[in-house]
């Protein structure tokens, strides 16, 4: 499996950023988020549980909001048989 990095740095109006966030939301709902800039393309396929980290920072006049989503793109094998738990009859006490 090859490693790919997509990185974008730029200035945008808040309304454009809101559009980006909606596209990310829709991508998570549909199971695919595609990042594109020029010839650079990266498709991410969120599956299973996704780790979410949100960090806000204020330093002087600068503000920062960082959102990170992490997951493994692999199928999770389900156990062959389901776990069953039943109460005992209480005679062992």
Q: Predicted confidence band at 59 (pLDDT cuts at 50, 70, 90)?
A: very high
> Does any domain span residue 43?
yes
pLDDT at 92 over 60: no
Is 34 within the bounds of a domain? yes
Tell whether 28 is covered by a domain: yes
Write b or e for each residue in 9-44: b if 16 or more Cβ atoms lie within 10 A of its Cβ, otherwise e: eeeeeeeeeeeeeeeeeebeeeeebebeeeeeeeeb
Q: What is the reported pLDDT for 78?
A: 58
Task: Strands of the chain (E only): list them.
Answer: 33-37, 40-44, 51-59, 62-70
Domains of the chain: total: 1
Does residue 79 lie within any of the structural domains? no
In a domain, 66, yes or no: yes
From its phi and psi, is residue 87 left (phi > 0), alpha (psi between -120 and 50) or beta? Answer: beta
User: Mean pLDDT over residues 57-70, rounded?
Assistant: 96
0.75 exceeded by the pTM? no
């Amino acid at each position: 499996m090859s490693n790919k990095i997509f990185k974008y740095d730029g200035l945008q109006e808040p309304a454009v950023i809101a559009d980006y966030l909606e596209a990310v939301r829709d991508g998570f709902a549909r199971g695919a988020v595609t990042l594109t800039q020029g010839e650079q393309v990266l498709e991410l396929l969120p599956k299973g549980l996704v780790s979410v980290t949100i960090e806000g920072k204020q330093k002087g006049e600068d503000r920062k909001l960082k959102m990170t989503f992490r997951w493994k793109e692999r199928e999770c094998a389900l156990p062959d048989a389901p776990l069953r738990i039943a109460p005992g009859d209480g005679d062992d006490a």
